[in-house]
Amino acid sequence: MRRTGTNLPKVGQYNRAVVLDQIQLADGISRIEIAQLTGLTPQTVSGIVRRLIDEGIVREDGAGASNGGKPRTRLRVNAGAGLAIGVHFDPYELSCVVVDLLGQPLVTVQRPTPAQAGPEEITEAVARLVDEVLTAAGVQRDQVLGLGLATPGPIDQSLGILVDPPQLPGWSRVPIKEMLAGATGLPVTLDNDATAAAIGERWAGAGRGVADFAYFFFGAGIGGGLILGHQVYRGGSMNAAEFGHTSVRPDGPHCYCGNVGCLESLINPPALEAEARRRLAAGDHAGTTLVAPDHHAIRLAAAAGDPLAAAVIDEAAGWLATAVVNVVNIVDVDLVVLGGHGIRHVEERFRGAVQQALATRPLARRIRTVQVELSPLGPDAAVVGAAALVLHMTYSPQVSELLSL
Ligand SMILES: [Zn+2]
């Protein structure tokens, strides 16, 4: 992977992040290789690496194989040099994780979200979970760089507030960032759960080192994240990649967002439940064990081969495939990643439908076939992504930071 740095002194912070990014993505890399990959001079790379080693973020790891010449010292991220906490909640689940500098989870805890929980109750529950993961991981609070919070959007990142998220009725302009910082004593970074999950994939999952990928997140709703040219693409109002609100069925239901036939309104948990009820009411009982199914039961039954549940899931996967083809035609990504707790048990059915569509429908398919991968972070994508937010903010190159220098 080639990422170009620059030798202008003004952008020293950016160069440092570009170098650290190369070290983080490689499994051992030499100073010369970093210089070749970034276009930075060997002197610039050496200076940055010396400072990173002095700060304990990077370590030298013996000599790697060389081509007959002098052995080269490999550089690696010192995984234990810093830790980050990730928190994700939506109406269904509340999760908390502590990760190391490589984004690897040390301890993860998941709880059902208390029903109808308000902001104060959630803040208290999060503070208790943070204590729990720190104790379980055996780490001190002062080793933690910060807490990343991933929630259903929309959010106003600059103000640190949730702005009337449709998934969380009653949460109107809640200053959650300030509340959590007060309750935990940690600096808090806030992002919507799909963007957080995409950042997590880039840091520690299927998107490692991939320049252009689209991430589809299945939680309470259907969200998305776009990484273009190694950067999170956020759009003009910070609301890019709302894949769940792209229309895939012109005669479909009206969505709360104002659009018609949105992907989310066709395949989110209530939609799966409604479709199963509709089929049961229509007398479609042959071979099924489902009676009054919730979405967990539908996914479990589909995985076990229940014909009605499988039909519901396959129809949902078909709507998803159409949305994915649209996204690929527009942004021409190399990889599509599917993740989030909303596809638990039926991941392969979804992946199969999307792969089939990508092999036959995008215009550029004869140039190359877009890959589809399930998030290796699985149901933990958002919470690991939330922790990765902290690491990303601290260490990763960001064009916006470069421009504001
Ligand atoms: Zn919509």
User: What would the DSSP string read from start to end of 276-312?
Assistant: HHHHHHTT--TT---SS--HHHHHHHHHTT-HHHHHH
| Rounded mean pLDDT, 203-214 | 87
Full-model pTM: 0.80
Is there a cis peptide before residue 154, judged by omega within 30 degrees of 0?
Answer: yes
Could you tell me the CATH number of the domain that includes residue 89?
Answer: 3.30.420.40
Q: Is residue 292 part of a domain?
A: yes
Binning pLDDT at 50, 70 and 90, where does residue 219 land? Answer: confident
Q: Are residues 178 and 147 in the same domain?
A: yes
Q: Is 360 exposed, middle or buried (0-12, 13-18, 19+ CB in 10 A)?
A: exposed
Q: Which of 157, 174, 55, 48 is nearest to 118 (CA)?
A: 174
Question: Can you count the helices (H) and strands (E) in the chain?
Answer: 13, 14
Q: Are residues 155 and 178 in the same domain?
A: yes
Contact between 278 and 290 under an 8 Å Cβ cutoff? The reply is: no
Out of 2-16, 329-343, 384-398, pick the least confident: 2-16
Contact between 146 and 84 under an 8 Å Cβ cutoff? The reply is: yes
Could you tell me the CATH number of the domain that includes residue 48?
Answer: 1.10.10.10
DSSP3 helix / strand / coil % (the chain, rounded to 5)? 45, 20, 35
Binning pLDDT at 50, 70 and 90, where does residue 9 land? Answer: very low
Q: Which of 59, 80, 95 is nearest to 144 (CA)?
A: 80
Give the Cα-Cα-Cα angle 5, 200, 326 (nearest 5 degrees): 90
Q: What is the pLDDT of residues 78-132, one digit of tens each?
A: 988 889 999 998 888 899 999 998 888 899 999 988 888 889 999 999 999 999 9
Q: Are residues 52 and 142 in the same domain?
A: no
End position of a domain, from candidates 77, 98, 118: 77
Report the distance separating Cα 146 and Cα 326, nearest Å: 37
Backbone angles phi, psi at 54, to 5 degrees: -60, -35
Q: Which of 265, 272, 256 is nearest to 221 (CA)?
A: 265
Eight-state DSSP code of residue 113? P
End position of a domain, from candidates 23, 57, 77: 77
| Rounded mean pLDDT, 45-71 | 80
Ligand 1: centre distance to CA 254 (Å): 8
Ligand 1: centre distance to CA 247 (Å): 8
| Rounded mean pLDDT, 166-190 | 89
The CB-side HSE value for 303 (13 A sphere, CA atoms) comes to: 12
Average pLDDT, the chain: 87
Ligand 1: centre distance to CA 329 (Å): 20
Ligand 1: centre distance to CA 268 (Å): 11
Q: Are residues 358 and 240 in the same domain?
A: yes
Ligand 1: centre distance to CA 204 (Å): 30
Token pair listed for 41: 């001079």
Contact between 324 and 330 under an 8 Å Cβ cutoff? The reply is: no
Ligand 1: centre distance to CA 259 (Å): 5
pLDDT at residue 204, as a whole number: 82
Which range marks the domain in which residue 35 is found? 9-77
Ligand 1: centre distance to CA 342 (Å): 17
Ligand 1: centre distance to CA 242 (Å): 9
| Rounded mean pLDDT, 147-157 | 85
Pairing of strands 58-64, 72-77: antiparallel
Q: Are residues 170 and 235 in the same domain?
A: no
Q: Is residue 3 part of a domain?
A: no
Q: How many domains does the chain have?
A: 3
Q: Provide the percentage of residues in the chain whose pLDDT is more than 70.
A: 92
Out of 2-16, 37-51, 146-160, pick the least confident: 2-16
Ligand 1: centre distance to CA 253 (Å): 9
